[in-house]
Amino acid sequence: MAAKLIKGTDIREQILEEITAEVKQIKEKHGVVPGLVTILVGENPASISYVTLKIQTAHRVGFKEIQDSQSVDITEEQLLALIDKYNKDDSINGILVQLPLPKHIDEKKVLNAIDPDKDVDGFHPVNVGRLMIGGKEVKFPPCTPAGIQEMIVRAGVETSGAEVVVVGRSNIVGKPIANMMLQKGKGANSTVTIVHTGTKDLASHCQRADILIVAAGVPGLVKPEWIKPGACVIDVGVNRVGEKISEKTGKPIAILRGDVDFDAAKEIAGSITPVPGGVGPMTITMLMLNTLKSLKFKLGIA
């Protein structure tokens, strides 16, 4: 039986429409819209394309968007002063510093300078702590894990009491999604196991999973025989395994593969995310949702 496909591209459209409608309502009632600033240092082509996508999405949902592009020569002090300016700017609800930063700037120092109440990426230690406490403490769950949880919920997968196995323990995906799934409440209340390179028998853990979340960055790591029949499989991995010529543009584009052997896995799983078009499109969507939430917290309507 072929698994149900959980398409991030479709869920993104639903959520962006919901955000657009809510922004319109807030504007009518309170006369304000969410404000997002994206700070880009230098001209790294990949960073430019990520920032462009974020800006386009922010415009689409009706946000006020400021693109603040800085020269690669900006000093750490000047960048910290810029962040301080946006921390104090009442019209800005979310501050995003596009990484990586040039080597002469301490990334950690810069990210930690963002007001935790405007840290819509959810990486500030205060927000990491809030996520760990759970419940009403949580303000901004980090965007990729938040996207994963949203996909599981919107796919109608039961999480309460489910065995969740997370492959990978990074600070941006593995640890936060594991933490989110074990909290009490909707879309969570699961029994969670995290596995990593120190785990003795990866296969046996994965075979227990009702929900298998894979974020290892190793193409095809998860074999079909590791998947419990009917399980929900969320493949976070995005691995460049080659290049092909795009039919649309005639230009070379990357061939992307996930961490799961998709073709074989889809015959066993109950539901599965594709790569590309699965978790990927959810990250920027959740960034928009966090920025909207930030304004709602400020207005006392969250």
Contact 157, 232 (CB under 8 A): yes
Q: How far is the CB of 130 from ligand NAP (least distance, A)?
A: 20
Among 148, 151, 173, 260, binds ligand NAP (CB under 6 A): 173
256 in contact with ligand NAP (CB under 6 A): no
Residue 121 annotated among the catalytic residues of the structure: yes
Residue 186 annotated among the catalytic residues of the structure: no
**Catalytic residue from among 118, 119, 121, 266:** 121
Integer angstrom CA distances of residue 111 from 63, 95, 108, 131: 22, 10, 5, 17
295 in contact with ligand NAP (CB under 6 A): no
169 is in an annotated binding site: yes
Among 174, 176, 270, 274, binds ligand NAP (CB under 6 A): 174
Residue 70 annotated among the catalytic residues of the structure: no
209 in contact with ligand NAP (CB under 6 A): no
168 in contact with ligand NAP (CB under 6 A): yes
Q: What are phi and psi of 219, to 5 degrees?
A: -60, 130
238 is in an annotated binding site: yes
91 is in an annotated binding site: no
71 is in an annotated binding site: no
Token code pair at residue 174: 């593995």
Among 44, 170, 193, 207, binds ligand NAP (CB under 6 A): 170
176 in contact with ligand NAP (CB under 6 A): no
Q: How far is the CB of 150 from ligand NAP (least distance, A)?
A: 13
Q: How many residues bind ligand NAP (CB under 6 A)?
A: 25
Binding span for ligand NAP by CB under 6 A among 16-24, 119-127, 211-219, 264-272: 211-219
**Catalytic residue from among 68, 70, 88, 98:** 98
The residues annotated with a catalytic role in the active site are 54, 98, 121
Binding-site sequence positions for NADP(+): 168-170, 238
Binding residues: 168-170, 238
Chain residues binding ligand NAP by CB under 6 A are: 144, 167-170, 172-174, 195-198, 202, 215-218, 221, 236-239, 279-280, 283
